[in-house]
């Protein structure tokens, strides 16, 4: 794992000199600490984090990344103080509404995954509109994990497969990794090649437990609101030095 306080950066020119990962996943962490360092309430950190979301999406599109998955709100985050949850829901709705035009203009397709039934109706409506209006985007696919937890996702897969067995469509011994994968919320996209986590925490926090099996991990101490496209480029260039073995030996 890599990481330093100021964060590794690179230029777009350097990024364009080599291959970029197809799918980058990001755990956007450190908003609360960013706010505390400035004597501000936590929601100010979340608001500041919205600029980093824009930066990262535009940077990924410029770099030629095909899929960008961003962890915006976890199943566990519902248990934060109600004022913070409420602020996050309002910011989410505001983000979705304010960014729609720009996302369409940049050819970015946005899809949201997670338990959206738990979200306030206004946020769900804004998400539906965003997904519908960006549907034709081909420059970059952004997948937002909202009200998402990998354990719940995997339990959902188990339920779906059990149901198919009960209905006689499938025998238990036929269940394999491929059938399992097809039931995941992310089954339409390839697995992430690179996972970036900001704020120095070296953990997965219930994100994409199945899909990250062979992702390269990049941890930076930079707090999410301070994360720029140059930091993203730094991670993309670092990724190039990795030798991905997938359990095999080098030829
Ligand atoms: C990430 O920042 C945003 C969410 C988890 C919604 P945090 O709010 O976790 O910030 P820290 O970890 O307390 O600094
Ligand atoms: C992970 O960050 C969830 C998101 C970034 C949405 P957390 O801040 O909730 O994770 P922990 O509590 O530090 O593991
Ligand atoms: Mg955190």
User: Which is the closest atom of ligand 2 to the Cα of 73?
Assistant: 6
User: Which is the closest atom of ligand 1 to the Cα of 88?
Assistant: 6
29 is an active site residue: yes
Query: Are 130 and 100 spatial neighbours (Cβ–Cβ below 8 Å)?
Result: yes
Q: Is the pLDDT of residue 200 over 70?
A: yes
pLDDT of residue 3: 42
Q: Which residues contact 202 (CB under 8 A, 6 or more apart)?
A: 1, 217, 219
Query: Are 223 and 31 spatial neighbours (Cβ–Cβ below 8 Å)?
Result: yes
pLDDT of residue 134: 98
pLDDT of residue 1: 41
pLDDT of residue 250: 82
Q: Is the pLDDT of residue 187 over 90?
A: yes
Three-class SS state of 109: strand
Q: Report the CATH number of the 12-149+194-240 domain.
A: 3.40.1180.10
Q: Is the pLDDT of residue 91 over 70?
A: yes
In this prediction, what percent of the chain has a pLDDT beyond 90? Answer: 97
Three-class SS state of 150: helix
Q: Whose CA is nearest to atom 11 of ligand 2?
A: 205
* Domain ranges, ordered by start, for the chain: 12-149+194-240
Q: How far is the CA of 32 from the centre of ligand 1 (A)?
A: 5
Task: Please give the helix or strand (H or E) that residue 12 lies within, else none.
Answer: helix 12-15
Range from 160-169, 226-235, 241-250 carrying the lowest mean pLDDT: 241-250
Distance CA 167, CA 173 (A): 15
77 is an active site residue: yes
Q: How far is the CA of 33 from the centre of ligand 3 (A)?
A: 8
pLDDT of residue 223: 98
User: In the predicted model, what is the mean pLDDT of residues 27-52?
Assistant: 98
Q: How far is the CA of 23 from the centre of ligand 3 (A)?
A: 23
Query: Are 76 and 207 spatial neighbours (Cβ–Cβ below 8 Å)?
Result: no
pLDDT of residue 5: 65
pLDDT digits (tens, 9 = 90+) for 108-125: 999 999 999 999 999 999
pLDDT of residue 211: 98
In the predicted model, what is the mean pLDDT of the chain?
A: 96
pLDDT of residue 177: 98
């Amino acid at each position: 794992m890599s990481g330093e306080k100021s964060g590794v950066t690179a230029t777009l020119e350097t990024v364009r000199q080599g291959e970029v990962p197809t799918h980058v996943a990001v755990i956007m962490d450190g908003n609360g600490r960013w706010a505390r360092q400035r004597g501000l309430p936590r929601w100010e950190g979340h608001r500041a984090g919205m600029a980093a979301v824009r930066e990262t999406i535009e940077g990924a599109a410029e770099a030629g990344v095909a899929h960008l998955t961003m962890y915006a709100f976890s199943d566990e985050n519902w248990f934060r103080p109600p004022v913070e949850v409420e602020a996050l829901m309002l910011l989410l709705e505001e983000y979705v509404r304010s960014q729609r035009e720009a996302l369409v203009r940049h050819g970015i397709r946005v899809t949201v995954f997670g338990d959206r039934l738990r979200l306030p109706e206004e946020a769900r409506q804004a998400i539906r509109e965003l997904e519908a209006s960006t549907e034709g985007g081909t420059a970059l696919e952004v997948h937002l994990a909202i009200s998402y937890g990998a354990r719940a996702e995997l339990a959902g897969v188990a339920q779906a497969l059990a149901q198919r067995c009960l209905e006689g469509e499938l025998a238990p011994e036929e269940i394999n990794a491929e059938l399992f994968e097809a039931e995941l919320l992310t089954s339409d996209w390839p697995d992430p090649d690179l996972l970036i986590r900001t704020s120095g925490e070296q953990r997965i926090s219930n994100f994409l437990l199945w899909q990250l099996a062979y992702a390269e991990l990049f941890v930076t101490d930079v707090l999410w609101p301070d994360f720029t496209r140059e930091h993203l480029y730094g991670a993309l260039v670092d990724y190039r030095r990795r030798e991905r073995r997938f359990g095999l030996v080098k030829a």
